[in-house]
Structure 1
């Protein structure tokens, strides 16, 4: 059994969904962690869930990035602990510099909420080992600032190092303009850091872990993390 800390900021609204998946569906030890916490040593993995931290003032994630717990997230990441940022959590991780790039306003300047499809690009990571390479997942999105951007040099480096884990695609895995819901460069829906222990994604896997909700495809993200933490799977950075 792995121990997960699920961070909570003022405005977070997906923390209970994540707890349900970890505790009730996957039978892991998980608890909420308030943003003022300064010590995350007791956790094997830390999850920054979705929501609207601080009302998305300034930019999504810009204020949460300066809270006390982020210093502890830095320390956990440095020690190789798994860090997962979902939606607003992804935005916070980019604001904190733990992941490259930035999340901008959606290209049509509208909030989007609905089902989307993402293609799995790698399966040799702590976050995606439960999937098959090229597998297409049905997972919902819910965001107004999910348009991934990086300058040309940074984007080239991200691609060269194989840091893209998920791309928006059609149900059969094609990268078409209509399949990209927010204008993200290179259809990027989820990436990891160079070390391979920090991942951010805009889709909400915790909302796709039960058939009654319309999909169980998101459960593989959490299952992959648990397998890595409990089975000691070896991970090689590409």
Structure 2
């Protein structure tokens, strides 16, 4: 069994993810081209950051029609673990696997910095190793990371305990400081911060390791 990292035209974090999972954590990993439809043999699938299809129309709007994502819907429905990071989170909302939308940052600027985060829910394997109210630091790099949803959707997320991560100091205006969330079943996680950039001690931090280890736990 291995991890699949989807590669779209415009992806720029697929190699970062491959290095984090296989190079740092020893997890067998293969890149999955966006035109593929066979996800057999994969235990988890990652949608990496970048600018899928150039982010034309809006972030993730074209990627959601990629052949591989039609297979991903079935994969997730059967309980397969799916992780969407940054642009991958945007794709998951466009695809309907997660609710809400990611929009332009509050101040309309691209933000590239370390973000202090708190674990809002540790009910799923993604966050369980950090513990409830755990603290971690992960890099962010986005121009459209402001999470928004309707009041009814927000209540449902709260009722389902699906808000996984919150910003300690909100950098982009996301409602309720949301930095990452899961579906009700807990097998799909989307987040704007980059855990794959916090796995190698050489780059200055390893707070992303526990989250990525959950891909095969």
Q: Into which bin does the TM-score normalised by the smaller protein fall?
A: over 0.9
Instruction: Tell me, yes or no, if the aligned pair for 1:41 and 1:76 is still in contact at 8 Å.
Output: no
Instruction: Tell me, yes or no, if the aligned pair for 2:5 and 2:47 is still in contact at 8 Å.
Output: yes
2:115 corresponding residue in structure 1: 116
What are the within-5 Å matches in structure 2 for residues 21-60 of structure 1? 21-60=20-59
**How many Å separate the matches in 2 of 1:16 and 1:129?**
26
**How many Å separate the matches in 2 of 1:225 and 1:188?**
22
1:200 corresponding residue in structure 2: 190
Is there any run of 5+ residues in structure 1 with no aligned partner, and where?
170-178, 228-238
**How many Å separate the matches in 2 of 1:78 and 1:134?**
29
What is the CA-CA distance between 1:124 and the residue it aligns to?
Answer: 2.6
**How many Å separate the matches in 1 of 2:208 and 2:40?**
27
* Aligned residue among 167, 180, 205 for 1:190: 180
What is the CA-CA distance between 1:136 and the residue it aligns to?
Answer: 1.2
Q: What RMSD, in angstroms, separates the aligned Cα atoms of the two structures?
A: 0.9
What are the within-5 Å matches in structure 2 for residues 1-238 of structure 1? 2-169=1-168, 179-227=169-217
What is the CA-CA distance between 1:194 and the residue it aligns to?
Answer: 1.2
What is the CA-CA distance between 1:49 and the residue it aligns to?
Answer: 0.4
What is the CA-CA distance between 1:135 and the residue it aligns to?
Answer: 1.3
**How many Å separate the matches in 2 of 1:156 and 1:201?**
19
What is the CA-CA distance between 1:129 and the residue it aligns to?
Answer: 1.9
Is there any run of 5+ residues in structure 2 with no aligned partner, and where?
none
Instruction: Tell me, yes or no, if the aligned pair for 2:7 and 2:14 is still in contact at 8 Å.
Output: yes
Structure 1 stretch displaced more, 179-188 or 213-222: 213-222
**How many Å separate the matches in 1 of 2:17 and 2:25?**
11
What is the CA-CA distance between 1:21 and the residue it aligns to?
Answer: 1.2
Q: TM-score, normalised by structure 1?
A: 0.89
What is the CA-CA distance between 1:224 and the residue it aligns to?
Answer: 2.3
What is the CA-CA distance between 1:226 and the residue it aligns to?
Answer: 2.2
SS in 2 for 1:39: coil
Instruction: Tell me, yes or no, if the aligned pair for 2:44 and 2:216 is still in contact at 8 Å.
Output: no
Structure 1 runs of 4+ aligned residues shifted over 6 Å read: none
**How many Å separate the matches in 1 of 2:37 and 2:125?**
25
Q: TM-score, normalised by structure 2?
A: 0.98
SS in 2 for 1:128: helix
